[in-house]
Amino acid sequence: MRLNGIVSDSAILEELGERLLKHRLSHNLTQQDLATEAGIGVNTVYRLEQGHSTQLSNLIRILRILRLSDNLDALVPEISQSPVEQAKLKKEKRKRASHRRTKDDPPTAWKWGDEL
């Protein structure tokens, strides 16, 4: 079943759980073995396989043990930069701030401080 046609979150969680179960069995691992290797509880593995919600870090740990973590790039693909964005990044970055430029007042005759 393809995940992009599933509407509800719970249905997606159930499908992911079934897939994790199949991968675990293909690696000939028990829930206890997977939990021990991933450093999580057996109940967490059970909950994931049953389609219940859990922490994302637990899913990542399981994906690593099942050698599926390479697929995370497909889950959230990296955004490539457009040529315009690349050109902006190549511009030299400023190294210091410049002073505000104001219009100079017209020059006046210089006077000593004691003259009125």
Each residue of 33-79: pLDDT tens digit?
999 999 999 999 999 999 999 999 999 999 999 999 988 888 888 87
Give the type of residue at 2.
Answer: R
Predicted local distance difference test score (pLDDT) of residue 13? 93
Q: What is the pTM of this model?
A: 0.64
CATH code given to domain 7-75: 1.10.260.40
Spell out a b/e string for 75-91, using b for 16 or more CB atoms within 10 Å of the CB, else e. Answer: eeeeeeeeeeeeeeeee
**Phi, psi for residue 50 in degrees, rounded to 5:** -85, -5
Predicted local distance difference test score (pLDDT) of residue 17? 95
89 vs 48, higher pLDDT: 48
Cβ atoms 62, 47 nearer than 8 A: no
Cβ atoms 24, 49 nearer than 8 A: yes
Q: Tens digit of pLDDT for each residue in 4-40?
A: 777 789 999 999 999 999 999 999 999 999 999 999 9
61 vs 108, higher pLDDT: 61
Q: How many CB atoms are located within 10 Å of the residue 57 CB?
A: 9
Predicted local distance difference test score (pLDDT) of residue 57? 96
Query: For residues 95 and 99, what is the distance between their CA atoms, to the nearest angstrom?
Result: 13
Give the start-to-end residue ranges of the domains of the chain.
7-75
* Helices (H), ranges, the chain: 9-26, 31-38, 42-49, 56-65, 72-75, 83-90
